[in-house]
Amino acid sequence: MRASGGVPYPCVGTFDGVRVYVLMYFDDLVLAGVLYKVVYMSRKALMEDFSVREMGEPTYFLGMRMWYNRKDGLLSLAQRQYVTSILEWFGLAESNPVRLPMRAIDVMPREKSLMGPPMAIMNRKALASLLFLATSTRPEIILAVGMLSRRVSAPTQVHWAVPNAVM
């Protein structure tokens, strides 16, 4: 396995001309690729050069649950535990899901009264949590989170209700 010359990412390599992705987090590695045979050969090459311990296929990596459908060639990711923990953190564990989170932003009126510092900090934490979700496993909320992020420097009471609607 060698690093790809034309690819600017150190975690992408080729083995027998096929791309292999090496996902790294401290001392954990996950190998991924289109062909199982190539991933297997890459793993074997790494084990020859480094002290590597095989732990099988991952079920969790970086807080994301992973599962495979080899028949259809699909890798699925979910962050159910993270979603549950942020809902509990913001007191929304018993809330009902909203189908279109953007609707709350469409009707958001302009208001002059700014949030106090403690509420503004909570608003930023909520947006940071949503942004992490949107960029990891929930792309359907990215538009709503992006619109909310525009108002993060001077949030009002109305802006606190909208992240709750997205959550």
Return the percentage of the chain with pLDDT > 70, whole number. Answer: 85
Tokens standing for 116?
């106090």
Q: What is the pLDDT of residues 97-143, one digit of tens each?
A: 777 666 655 556 666 777 788 888 888 898 899 898 888 888 888 88
How far apart CA 108 and CA 19 sit, in angstroms, is: 46
**Sign of torsion, CA 104 109 115 120?**
positive
Per the model's pLDDT, the better-predicted residue between 4 and 55 turns out to be 55
User: Mean pLDDT, to the nearest integer, of 53-69?
Assistant: 86
Side-chain-side CA neighbours of residue 101 (13 Å): 22
What is the pLDDT at residue 166? Answer: 76
How far apart CA 85 and CA 102 sit, in angstroms, is: 23
What is the pLDDT at residue 164? Answer: 72
pTM of the model: 0.68
What is the pLDDT at residue 108? Answer: 61
What is the pLDDT at residue 51? Answer: 86
CB neighbour class for 140 (10 Å; exposed up to 12, middle 13-18, buried from 19) = exposed
CB neighbourhood size of 117 (10 A):
8
**Is the confidence at residue 7, as pLDDT, over 80?**
no
CB neighbour class for 41 (10 Å; exposed up to 12, middle 13-18, buried from 19) = middle
Domain chopping of the chain, boundaries: 2-78, 80-166
User: Mean pLDDT, to the nearest integer, of 69-74?
Assistant: 84
Encode 45-80: b = buried (16+ Cβ within 10 Å), e = exposed: ebeeeeeeeeeeebeeeeebbbeeeeeeeeeeeebe
